Structure 1
Amino acid sequence: MPIVMSLREAVLHKVHGKSKSGLREMIEGSIDAQEAALPGLGVVFEVIWKNIDRTKQDELISVLQGQLNQAEPTPLK
């Protein structure tokens, strides 16, 4: 009988038990990689977001807003 997992469950299963350096390698290897890696980063971000306090969430939002405001948007085709 096949095991059926959601994407979220599959990502969490894949990263469970990784060392700090293993997690860093996974994150850095996903940055600017094929778009298939983006959902995995989303799951990792969700774990971070749910487990940090409001102050750290606000800090992340500030960094994100600052970087997005500096970036040139890619023209839509």
Structure 2
Amino acid sequence: MNLNLRNAIIHNVSGNNQEQLKDTIVDAIQRGEEKMLPGLGVLFEVIWNHADDQEKHMMLETLEEGLKG
């Protein structure tokens, strides 16, 4: 069986509105389960690929600050 995890994750959230996407992200973070990390990674990849340079810079600054703590 050839399962493409990235496509499965995108398929599962395609068509979700902002509130549903937020709930998915918050739930994955709150559960803290390792198995949720690939899904969050795919969602971040979608965000990154659709961000302009200014948005990417802002994300990197936020990430850098968050990792200092």
What's the % identity of the aligned pairs?
A: 35
* Residues 28-67 of structure 1 mapped to structure 2, 5 A cutoff: 28-33=26-31, 34-67=33-66
Q: CA deviation at 1:5?
A: 3.4
Match of 1:11 among 9, 12, 16: 9
Q: Which has the higher contact order (CA 8 A, sep 6+)?
A: 2
Runs of at least 5 residues in structure 1 that lack an aligned partner in the other structure: 71-77
TM-score, normalization by structure 1: 0.82
CA RMSD of aligned residues (A): 1.2
Q: CA deviation at 1:45?
A: 0.3
Q: Which has the higher helix share?
A: 2
TM-score, normalization by structure 2: 0.91
Q: Runs of at least 4 residues of structure 1 off by over 2 A?
A: none
Which residue identity does 1:69 align to in structure 2? Answer: K
How many residues align structurally?
68
